[in-house]
Amino acid sequence: MEQLVKELQEAVVGKVLQDEPLANHTTMKIGGPADVLVEPSSLEMLQVTMKIIQKHNAKWTAIGRGSNLLVSDLGIEGVVIKLGKGMDDLEIQGNEIIVGAGYSLIKLVTIISKKGLSGLEFAGGIPGSVGGAVYMNAGAHGSDMSKVLKRAHVLFEDGKMEWLTPEELNFSYRTSLLQKERPGICLEAIINVVQGEREKVVAQLQKNKDYRRDTQPFNYPSVGSVFRNPLPNYAGQLIEKAGLKGFSIGGAKVSEMHANFIVNDNGAKAQDVLDLISHIKKTVLELYNVQLETEVEIIGRK
């Protein structure tokens, strides 16, 4: 690992940190250290990083803004690639947006709404990156990324990069090809929007943001929604009916504002959250015969 780090530093790929606590890089404020964390300064430097990783046959994991991520207390083995600054270019060409995976989804929606560009209002308040939104087909208010994405530039486990259409990404509810079928990460996205009336677009975006602010616990560290909705049921409603609002294990607590949120109430560990998830799943299964599935990505050493 020392030689790998040396080569990354000599190649000036961007920020290179050893034993970096991933609690500093997740919205849950939880997570042990990454052996090595790299924040490439550009797409080209990401490619150089991948070549060095492959040369050393090292394990690698990619993260964005860490908003849908629960990292093990034991951290992550190998190299963690953080798509942030340097991977956050933005170009607006008429009704097409070309945007880097590291770009904030909330920031993107706010900028384009002021130009009267419509199509992404549903994402107002989703606290993730563009890449993460593509990866998990993020959505709300009856829409999702599959409905607005034209193409995504994707990096696969073997280091190959391809441009894929929504059909090729095999989108479904909070799911894409990149999660299990063919693990990979989104590097860039081309998003389709339409010209609308600026006042109406801004108003709809604000309405969506207000709804999230009024119904979700933004004043506590969290990963967002923990469970996928087992349609036609809703995870939050089932958890609330089970009497679990406010239930806690260690420093992790089921939000009293929205039961599908687990918050870091008091120095929670990842294990506290995992134990709470297990308790919720068991309780809901016993009471309602519904098997809840997690939406949050759970990664790291076991």
Annotated catalytic residues are 174, 225, 295
Q: Which of 302, 227, 290, 297 is nearest to 258 (CA)?
A: 227
The CA dihedral of 14, 20, 21, 22, to the nearest 10 degrees, is 40
8 A C-beta contact, residue 49 and residue 8: yes
Strands (E), the chain: 14-21, 33-40, 60-63, 69-71, 76-82, 90-93, 96-100, 117-118, 139-140, 143-144, 149-156, 161-164, 184-192, 194-195, 222-225, 248-249, 252-254, 261-264, 297-299
Q: What is the DSSP letter of 128?
A: S
